[in-house]
Amino acid sequence: MRSHFLRHLDEQVMKRFNMGKPAKAKRGIPSKVDDFNAWYPFIVEAAELVDKRYPIKGMDVWRPYGWKAMRQIDALTHAEMERTGHEEVNFPLLIPEDLLEKENALVARLKRAREEGVDPDELRDEDEEGGFKKEVYWVKHAGENELDIPMFLRPTSETAMYTMFPLWIRSHKDLPLKVYQMVNTFRYETKQTRSFIRVREIHFFEAHTAHADEADATRQIEQDLEIVDRLMDKLCLPIIKAKRPVWDTFPGAHYTIGIDAVMPNGRTLQVASCHHYLDQWAKAFDITYENLEAKQQHVHQTTYGMSERLLGAIVGMHGDDAGLIMPPAIAPWQVVICPMIRKNSDVDTVSISHEVADTLRNAGLRVHVDDRDLHPGQKYYDWEIKGIPLRLDIGPRDVEQGTAFAAKRTGGKQPLPMDSIVQSVRDVLDEIADELRARSTQHMENVIQPLPEFTENDGTWTMNGEIKEGHIYELPFDGSDAHAEIIERTTGLTFLGDSTDDFSEERPCHMSGKPTKRRVLLAKTY
């Protein structure tokens, strides 16, 4: 089915997705193509995902429709965790200050070791800022009493979890340890906030694992990336997976793989990340186990995290000038049924609509019947802006013909037979998902372009071309950090890192000329 849509992405379809000439905006909705920065916040609120009017900047109130969508994403994540043997935990929100200092000392030491090119074990902890110290929210009083030890709201949970891991891990029989939680985290982002993309209270997923050795931890990273692929397929989001350059790797990690979605304006949005920690955190928190030789050995650890940014990517990637388009897998309601009420008709379309809804619900579909006493056009607008994948209209004539009239949010209308309504609806929802995947995949393929060539003359590098707005650039790269700095400074773009998908054949490095298959990506980022 997917290949069918890839072959038939005609001009009309692309226009509906706002990759060509923008469609005429409806009811004051800004143009997604012409002004994405105005379109995005308008849609987020008009579709009733969140309300930004709460009196703390960056802490939006989830509205019922938005929370239902986020919980559907959570449900998919829960299922993947269950499938891969992770167990859910829930750690306290408050963390004592001394644990933050412990994390800061570790992060600062690892950062300094990286900068100096030495083994971290050769360095002592120093009073150097690192970690989340500048971003956390502090709690220093309980009632009128000043706390002996100040506490902070979790920005993430390494310090909290790794304090407990030594109590849970004693022997090789306790490994691997694989836990996760879905919680709110808090970071004082000083940059301009933007719903889902940059907020101060974050709906956060984090998986933490401990392993007997580096090889098993590496296998966990591979499994994390497989989980990412499965989730993003359901969200209809093509992604870039790239091993971050050294200077953009979390200092507490051996390496970081960032997962980026491509937004309509060509910018990338990191929606997930995987960190391989080796045994660095284990040494700091004394997480050891007794191996088969009855000797104490430090565990190797990984983390995998995602956030509500996933919903921001869905809004940005799949929406159009009429509103949201929800992928069927996470739509709060996959189907909305609108009974057509006709005067002087003996057909009770409302009752019939509820009967059809019950049939679909019993088959596991999420269905809502809109039996409000409103003009049909108003109902259509409401569900269009909310991005409901499929609308079924049922009028007296439809009942007589034994059909329901289906309108896809991606475009297209057709009658569906009532006697096979469940399978027919499932087929149409699959079509919609395939259309969204094809559209977003084509968009990503269109925006990734080769980086213009660089030439050197007497130590001065010149780029033979220009950087265009709305594009991501790829290049074969096996150069130095100095070469990377020249590229970033000249282009104004950010190194995403080494793509997990190399070039199929060796190519000369953009700067050094060395043959390499390394495929490096650069972009403007959120």
Per-residue pLDDT of 343-397, as tens digits, reads 778 889 999 999 999 999 999 999 999 999 899 999 999 999 999 999 999 999 9
Task: Find the mean pLDDT for residues 508-521.
Answer: 96
Tokens of 39: 């379109």
Say if residue 21's pLDDT is above 80: no
Residue ranges in 412-508 assigned as alpha helix (H): 421-447, 481-491
Alpha carbon 40 to chain centroid distance?
16
Tokens of 164: 């407990």
- Which residues have CB under 8 Å from 229's CB, separation 6+? none
CA atoms of 23 and 10, how far apart (whole Å): 16
What is the pLDDT, as a whole number, of residue 346?
85
What is the pLDDT, as a whole number, of residue 189?
77
Q: Is residue 515 a contact partner of residue 507, using CB atoms and an 8 Å limit?
A: yes
CA atoms of 294 and 306, how far apart (whole Å): 37
CA atoms of 318 and 326, how far apart (whole Å): 7
Say if residue 9's pLDDT is above 50: no
What is the pLDDT, as a whole number, of residue 297?
97
- What's the CATH superfamily of 64-316? Bira Bifunctional Protein; Domain 2 (3.30.930.10)
Radius of gyration of the chain (CA): 26
Task: Find the mean pLDDT for residues 287-291.
Answer: 97
Task: Find the mean pLDDT for residues 97-103.
Answer: 84
Task: Find the mean pLDDT for residues 334-350.
Answer: 90
Q: Give the model's confidence band at 3: pLDDT under 50 very low, under 70 low, under 90 confident, else very high.
A: very low
CA atoms of 194 and 67, how far apart (whole Å): 17
Q: Is residue 132 a contact partner of residue 100, using CB atoms and an 8 Å limit?
A: yes
The residue that leads in pLDDT, 25 or 110, is 110
% of the chain at pLDDT higher than 70: 90
**DSSP H or E stretch at residue 159:** helix 158-168
Amino acid identity, position 334:
Q
Say if residue 313's pLDDT is above 70: yes
Say if residue 444's pLDDT is above 50: yes
Measured between alpha carbons, how far apart are the two ends of the chain, in Å? Answer: 33
Q: Give the model's confidence band at 128: pLDDT under 50 very low, under 70 low, under 90 confident, else very high.
A: very low
Which residue from 89, 193, 190, 55 is spatially nearest to 136, judged by alpha carbons? 190
Alpha carbon 384 to chain centroid distance?
23
Q: Average per-residue pLDDT in the chain?
A: 91
What is the pLDDT, as a whole number, of residue 114?
65
Task: Find the mean pLDDT for residues 386-413.
Answer: 97
Q: Give the model's confidence band at 116: pLDDT under 50 very low, under 70 low, under 90 confident, else very high.
A: low
Q: Is residue 221 a contact partner of residue 239, using CB atoms and an 8 Å limit?
A: no
What is the pLDDT, as a whole number, of residue 344?
78
Say if residue 115's pLDDT is above 90: no
Alpha carbon 49 to chain centroid distance?
16
Q: Give the model's confidence band at 131: pLDDT under 50 very low, under 70 low, under 90 confident, else very high.
A: low
Tokens of 101: 């200092």
CA atoms of 520 and 495, how far apart (whole Å): 8
The sheet carrying 519-523 orders its strands as 87-88, 177-186, 201-211, 300-307, 268-278, 255-262, 239-243, 494-499, 519-523, 472-476, 448-450
What is the pLDDT, as a whole number, of residue 316?
97
Q: Is residue 296 a contact partner of residue 289, using CB atoms and an 8 Å limit?
A: yes
Say if residue 18's pLDDT is above 50: no
Which residue from 330, 255, 314, 448 is spatially nearest to 68, judged by alpha carbons? 330
Enumerate the domain spans of the chain. 64-316, 335-446, 451-523
Q: What is the CATH number of domain 335-446?
A: 3.40.50.800
- Which residues have CB under 8 Å from 468's CB, separation 6+? 449
CA atoms of 337 and 26, how far apart (whole Å): 23
Q: Which CATH architecture has domain 451-523?
A: 2-Layer Sandwich (3.30)
Task: Find the mean pLDDT for residues 34-39.
Answer: 94
Say if residue 123's pLDDT is above 50: no
Query: CB count, 10 Å around CB of 503?
Result: 14
pTM above 0.85, yes or no: yes
Tell me the per-residue pLDDT of 220-272, one tens digit each, with 9 for 90 and over.
999 999 999 999 999 999 999 999 998 898 878 999 999 999 999 999 999 99
CA quadruple 220, 313, 44, 338: dihedral positive or negative? negative
Q: Is residue 205 a contact partner of residue 307, using CB atoms and an 8 Å limit?
A: yes
What is the pLDDT, as a whole number, of residue 133?
66
Say if residue 91's pLDDT is above 70: yes
Say if residue 24's pLDDT is above 70: no
What is the pLDDT, as a whole number, of residue 13?
38
What is the pLDDT, as a whole number, of residue 135?
86
Q: Give the model's confidence band at 1: pLDDT under 50 very low, under 70 low, under 90 confident, else very high.
A: very low
Say if residue 29's pLDDT is above 60: yes
Q: Is residue 251 a contact partner of residue 111, using CB atoms and an 8 Å limit?
A: yes
Of 119-128, 149-158, 221-230, 460-469, the one with minimum mean pLDDT is: 119-128
Task: Find the mean pLDDT for residues 6-18.
Answer: 41
